[in-house]
Chain A
Amino acid sequence: MSMNRREFLKIAGISTVVGLGGTAAFTKIRESALEAAQIAPNTLALKAKQWAMVIDMGKFKSEETIKKVINACHRIHNVPDIGNPKDEIKWIWTETYGHAFPGQEHKYMSEDMMHKPFLLLCNHCTNPACVRVCPTKATFKRKDGIVMQDMHRCIGCRFCMAACPFGARSFNYRDPRGKDANGNPFIKEENKEYPTRMIGVVEKCTFCVERIEKGLKPACVEESNGALVFGDLDDPNSEVRKILGSTYTVRRKPELGTEPNVYYVIGGNGYAIVPELL
């Protein structure tokens, strides 16, 4: 494991603070004041250094739940249904194991594993390739680790789509506020509380920033019956950290160095999760 100087100092600092007890509380207060000021003066907001998600495939008992999860996200975020795969917009969707983890499959895998629908979404990478290539900073990484899109700045060059190794981004090839040939709107029921997008910009999962700011967990997490777990990677006591510390998890294409922050518990039957954590 490699650790750069800053990370080392941070950990060293944290250990000292833990030792000093009282000062820890003080530091914590100062830190949260700082964080809040950086985002918005909002006391409800959930806070983190790096939001992350664990997707526990073993906990999806039915395809129904998976559909509910996807629909919840797409409905509240006004994700249009264009009706053809070419112009498709999706924030969260499923692929089989072989497509979610290309190169990892083998032909002796159980049928169940081979066909299980894995949920995919933006990984809110620690070192995101999409942010690196964007020529306008229209896609950027927030202080809490969420990789965001500024729809009013995006020029629609699609460099970020070429760069994202996870196919997490969709481009509005059609006007999402428009209608199909039969006059049906692409957005079936518009959620007035969330903005619709314009034609010609790129969009993707936002880790539900609008909900986090209200103190709510992401919509997909809420609908998942415990299969999706959301939390701060930087907090050793967070639910995600507890799972990562006790269960074997994998990420998509970690070898590319983007440091994805969505982890998968692949499942099967015999994996161990400490029950009281979940």
Chain B
Amino acid sequence: MLEKALVGGKRYWTWVFFLLAIIGIGFIAYLKQFTYGLGITGLSRDVSWGLYIGQFTFLVGVAASGVMLVLPYYLHNFKQFGKITILGEFLAISAVTMCILFIFVDMGQPMRIMNVILHPTPNSIMFWDALVLSVYLALNVIVGWVVLGSDRKGVAPPKWVKPLIYLSIAWAPSIHTVTAFLYAGIPGRHYWLSAIMAARFLASAFSGGPALLIILALIIRKYTKFDPGKEAIQTLGKIVTYFMITNVFFFGLEFFTAFYSGIPGHQHPFYYLFAGMDGHAELVPLMWTSIILAIVSIFILIFPAARRNESILAVASAMVFISLWIDKGFGLIIGGFVPNMFEKVTGYWPTLPETLITLGVWATGFLVLTILYKIAVSVREETAGVEIEH
């Protein structure tokens, strides 16, 4: 099926070369980082994780969200998702690819990455995270490829993939729960030491991921002959709405505990992120953008009439996505490090090379996504109108 990615119109190739150019720039920036060291980034002794790890965390959520298409179809026989489960699975593959790359570019000694496997350490959450992510990647590659291949031939997929599909449904929440445990189990970082961290992660994943899927589905409908289906998109809209409300509710819970209890350590990260502290306010505009986008998007999404208008739905989905990207890809990580262990404030802002590397990784992910979606869409275009029971 790979050959499908090699035939395309002018628009397709322009897009591919555009992505390749960004990847190239990111790669050059990475070579610079490789020789100079991570000192080239905005990271410091006090804020030792930043944009890279934030993107990793956010993208694990995007990867997990594929399950929101797979689960209703296979467990609730929700037919409308039949044609597009593949979009969820392929999005998961591209997201996990980005996760791995973000971990890689964040490492001080990337050539030693195999040490995690050579010296397996079960007491480290990172060990489990590597494990669940690799299995999840494998599951999605196998299931996505086999099911799409059978669809193309017009036959039902082999029986042995069914158990793998059910396993992948159960597996999706695990990847984001384990990723939350990276943070939630650390003593002394107040912003992270929260029992609802994993729940927050899942809520934001299941709103942000489907929001992205809505946008992708609308793009596919606009530029190809494959229609993901109006009903399917509307259902995704409902999923986004409920989980976004849950996500904001969970954030409110954190806020209440920190401020009603009056414990200074728990309040400080909130002060830093939303008001600035000791003259450091670099994240304040971003964090308020996130809050405002969250509130406005929920306000739009709760009205079914507004949601039914696909352009409005697209705008609201973009708002949800950006809001969550800021909250998780940025604020969550930095909030854990500021104030530092000495209750001092060290600011953080990514540098230009760091930003270019980040864009390069995103472009790689989008390239993988483009190729996979191109294949999926070409198969769907060929088999238009033929419904195959998976």
Contact = CB atoms under 8 A, between A and B. Distances in A.
A7 B264 CA distance: 36
B285 interface: no
B112 interface: yes
Contacts of B265: 102-103
B112 A167 contact: no
Given A136-B115, A155-B109, A201-B108, A167 B124 contact: no
Interface in A87-126: 87-89, 95, 98-100, 102-103
Contact of B186 (A85, A129, A153, A202): A129
B334 to A, nearest CB: 12
A129 B187 CA distance: 8
A156 B111 CA distance: 10
A201 B111 CA distance: 12
Nearest to B112: A155
Give the size category of A's interface with B: 35 or more
B123 A154 contact: no
- Main DSSP-derived SS at the B contact region: loop
Interface stretch (A13-21, A36-44, A64-72, A171-179): A171-179
A75 interface: no
Nearest to A151: B109
B269 to A, nearest CB: 14
A132 interface: yes
Nearest to A102: B343
B310 interface: no
Select the residue from A85, A102, A154, A202 with max chain B CB neighbours within 10 A: A102
Interface string B36-62: 111101011110110000000000000
Contact of B48 (A103, A138, A153, A161): A161
B342 A100 contact: yes
Nearest to A96: B342
Nearest to B341: A167
A87 B39 contact: yes
B335 interface: no
B187 A257 contact: yes
29 contacts: A85-B45, A88-B45, A89-B45, A95-B342, A102-B265, A103-B264, A103-B343, A129-B186, A134-B121, A134-B124, A138-B115, A155-B113, A157-B106, A157-B108, A158-B49, A158-B106, A159-B126, A159-B182, A161-B45, A162-B48, A166-B341, A167-B340, A170-B45, A171-B45, A172-B37, A173-B41, A199-B37, A200-B108, A258-B187
A261 B88 CA distance: 50
A162 B109 contact: no
A70 B220 CA distance: 63
Contacts of A10: none
Q: Which 5 A-B pairs have the closest CB atoms?
A: A156-B108, A200-B108, A165-B188, A173-B39, A135-B126
B127 interface: yes
B186 A133 contact: yes
B230 interface: no
Contact of B37 (A153, A174, A202): A174
B189 interface: yes
Contacts of A48: none
B336 interface: yes
A90 to B, nearest CB: 8
B107 interface: yes
A165 B187 contact: yes
B128 to A, nearest CB: 9
Contacts of B187: 129, 163, 165, 256-258
Contacts of B342: 95, 99-100, 102, 167
Contact of B116 (A98, A136, A200): A136
Nearest to A170: B45
Contacts of A129: 186-188
A173 B44 CA distance: 8
Interface string A192-206: 000000111110000
B222 interface: no
B101 interface: no
Interface in B151-206: 182, 186-189
Contacts, number: 139
Contacts of A171: 38, 45, 48, 108
A137 B121 contact: yes
A86 interface: yes
A242 interface: no
B125 interface: yes
- Main DSSP-derived SS at the A contact region: loop
A173 B126 contact: no
Contacts of A199: 37, 108
Select the residue from A88, A167, A170 with max chain B CB neighbours within 10 A: A167
Contacts of B216: none
Contacts of A88: 45
B295 interface: no
A164 interface: yes
Contact of A155 (B115, B127, B340): B115
B330 to A, nearest CB: 16
Contacts of A133: 124-126, 186
A102 to B, nearest CB: 4
B45 A154 contact: no
Interface string B78-110: 000000000000000000000000010011111
B264 A153 contact: no
B107 A156 contact: yes
B123 A132 contact: yes
Contacts of A156: 38, 107-110, 112
Select the residue from B45, B113, B118, B182 with max chain A CB neighbours within 10 A: B45
Interface in B103-149: 103, 106-110, 112-113, 115-116, 118-119, 121, 123-127, 130
A206 to B, nearest CB: 18
Select the residue from B43, B113, B125, B343 with max chain A CB neighbours within 10 A: B343
Given A103-B265, A136-B121, A154-B109, A86 B115 contact: no
B4 interface: no
A175 B112 contact: no
